[in-house]
Amino acid sequence: MNPIPQILFVEDDPALGLVISDFLQMDGFGVKLATDGIVARDLFIKQRYDLCVLDVMLPGIDGFELARIIRKTDAAVPIIFLTARSLSTDRIEGFRIGCDDYIVKPFNSEELSLRIRALLKRCGIFSSVGMERQEYNIGHYTFIPKELILKGKNSIQPLTRREAELLKFFCDHQNELLPREVILKAVWGNDDYFIGRSMDVFIARLRKYLKDDDSVSITNSHGNGFKLTVII
């Protein structure tokens, strides 16, 4: 399974942090959430991330200082400041430190995702994690991972990158019972509770996309895992 872009997201509002993390995960990113600057610093030192999204007003170490530490460790990783501080002096300071983008709250989650995607593409991240060009036959559906589409007899269903990665993993293990933690580790890179919630949402979506063919089903064996069953 090809890796997905990993984002360090630092936001001291836990509710907002979870909402944005869930949105970004559903849009195809791996996200590690930290709620203070010291924890974020330690996470960055221990693990490589493809991009950092930093709030400025953080407990422990503020976002500007955190960015300086990150820049000393990795001069190239893209940094986006996401903050309520809209003064031009704050923006100038952010760009002087070396951020790549500066987004003022309130903001649109989809716009944040698009800006992240644009930065990663500019850095060549997406070109290195693209999925193989391959077709899968699933009942009367044709799934094309590279194009992020699921073709039915009379329809074409566009997929998010994460939906495609999850469906591809099921297709690679068709008619096999897959433990929940195995799916989470393979597709999300993490098996914690909140990512598990997101996976349930994605599986519900895939079931909806595949509902017009009775020979295809994604079943849940309680306590054991999930299985993509295709009856030939």
* Counted domains in the chain: 2
pLDDT tops 70 at residue 2: no
Distance CA 99, CA 80 (A): 6
- On whether both 23 and 124 belong to a single domain, the answer is yes
Q: Which of 22-26, 125-129, 192-196 bottoms out in mean pLDDT, i.e. has the lowest?
A: 125-129
Bridge-partner residues for 150, per DSSP?
143, 157
> Are the C-beta atoms of residues 42 and 166 closer than 8 Å to each other?
no
Give residues with Cβ within 8 angstroms of 206, minimum separation 6: 163, 166, 167, 170, 218
Q: Is residue 49 part of a domain?
A: yes
- On whether both 117 and 174 belong to a single domain, the answer is no
The last residue of one of the domains, among 70, 96, 128, is 128
Q: Is residue 223 part of a domain?
A: yes
- On whether both 16 and 63 belong to a single domain, the answer is yes
- On whether both 101 and 15 belong to a single domain, the answer is yes
Q: What is the pLDDT of residue 232?
A: 74
State the burial class of residue 154 (Cβ atoms within 10 Å of its Cβ: 0-12, 13-18, 19+): exposed
SS3 55: coil
Q: Is residue 1 part of a domain?
A: no
pLDDT digits (tens, 9 = 90+) for 159-214: 998 899 899 989 988 888 888 887 887 787 766 777 778 889 999 999 999 999 99
Q: Is residue 13 part of a domain?
A: yes
Q: What is the pLDDT of residue 126?
A: 59
pTM of the model: 0.57
Q: 129 falls in which pLDDT band (50, 70, 90)?
A: very low
In 3D space, the residue among 126, 226, 121, 220 whose CA is nearest the CA of residue 167 turns out to be 226
- On whether both 162 and 49 belong to a single domain, the answer is no
Residue in this structure with the two tokens 């991009």, named with its chain if needed? 51
- On whether both 121 and 200 belong to a single domain, the answer is no
- State CA 35 to chain mean position distance: 18
pLDDT tops 80 at residue 1: no
The last residue of one of the domains, among 96, 128, 160, is 128
Q: What is the amino acid identity at position 44?
A: F
pLDDT-above-70 percentage for the chain: 94
- On whether both 60 and 109 belong to a single domain, the answer is yes
The last residue of one of the domains, among 105, 128, 151, is 128
pLDDT-above-90 percentage for the chain: 43
Q: What is the pLDDT of residue 222?
A: 82
- On whether both 165 and 204 belong to a single domain, the answer is yes
Give residues with Cβ within 8 angstroms of 163, minimum separation 6: 148, 202, 205, 206
Per-chain mean pLDDT for the chain: 87
- On whether both 109 and 208 belong to a single domain, the answer is no
- On whether both 61 and 157 belong to a single domain, the answer is no
- On whether both 222 and 185 belong to a single domain, the answer is yes
- On whether both 61 and 124 belong to a single domain, the answer is yes
Residue ranges making up the domain that contains 180 = 136-230
